[in-house]
Structure 1
Amino acid sequence: MRLDAAELRLGMTEINQLAPWVAIVIALAAFLRPIISDRSKDIDGKLASLETRITRVETDIKHLPDHATVTSLERMVGNLGKEVAVLSERIKPIAAISDQLQDVLLEKAKAGL
């Protein structure tokens, strides 16, 4: 396969037409590279900050009770509430007796004066 002079000239003409566009693309790449690299540094910094925050949150979450423990605690608190209500009802007669005794003692103290 042999190229003649006309074909070579046609190839050179196409290269000469593309050369300014290639130069523009190279210039744009050289212009945009520092901008993109600065953004990537910012992104890297933000990513490191997020990794630190996520690590802190994961550490805090490890100390929290799981679902089964929370359910068990809810059941225990409910049982305690019921027991306090029962005790409150049992204490009412004792409080009434105490009030009556106090009234009797006050009446005796007034009568003795």
Structure 2
Amino acid sequence: MTTSEIYQYLGLALAVIALLGHAKGYFSSGEKTLLARIDKAEAKVEKVETKLVEYDRRIQSIEGEIKHLPDRETTHRMELAMTEISGKLNVMAERLKPIEAIGERLQETLMERAR
């Protein structure tokens, strides 16, 4: 093999290496953008996880408070009891009217005697 042939093969090898380097750079540029997108997505996932934990705590506190509140049936029973009490108060008011009238008459009598 002569030196000119060696230079030709060497030039060809260098050209192939250069082409492979360019191809690697071309194909890895997409990988860099993918890695950047993955990093952004991971940051968003961390924010979402933080929000989920925060919402979970809020829901747990609300559920704890709701357990202490009366349910529908209890509220209905309370309404019925209040209606019954209101009726009894109206009956008592009717029964007290004669006593009120007696008190007014006594006051009028005492005022007439005081004159």
Q: Which protein shows a greater Rg?
A: 2
Identity %: 28
Q: What is the aligned partner in structure 1 of residue 7 from structure 2?
A: none
Deviations 1:59-103 (A, max 9, x none): 001111122111111110110111111111111111111011011
Q: What is the aligned partner in structure 2 of residue 94 from structure 1?
A: 99
Name the CA shift for 1:97/1:48 in 2 (closer, same or farther; >3 Å): same
CA shift, 1:21, in A, is: 6.2
Q: What is the aligned partner in structure 2 of residue 46 from structure 1?
A: 51
Q: Within 2, Cα distance between the matches of 1:49 and 1:89?
A: 58
Q: Within 2, Cα distance between the matches of 1:93 and 1:19?
A: 108
1:30 and 2:14 correspond: no
**So what's the TM-score if we normalise by structure 2?**
0.73
1:75-86 alignment, distance < 5 Å: 75-86=80-91
Q: CA RMSD in A?
A: 2.0
**So what's the TM-score if we normalise by structure 1?**
0.75
Q: Which runs of 5+ in 2 are unaligned?
A: 1-22
Q: What is the aligned partner in structure 1 of residue 73 from structure 2?
A: 68
CA shift, 1:57, in A, is: 0.6
Deviations 1:16-74 (A, max 9, x none): xx866642431221111221111111111111110110000100011111221111111
How many residue pairs were aligned? 95
Runs (4+) off by over 6 Å:
none
User: What is the letter of the counterpart of residue 106 of structure 1?
Assistant: M
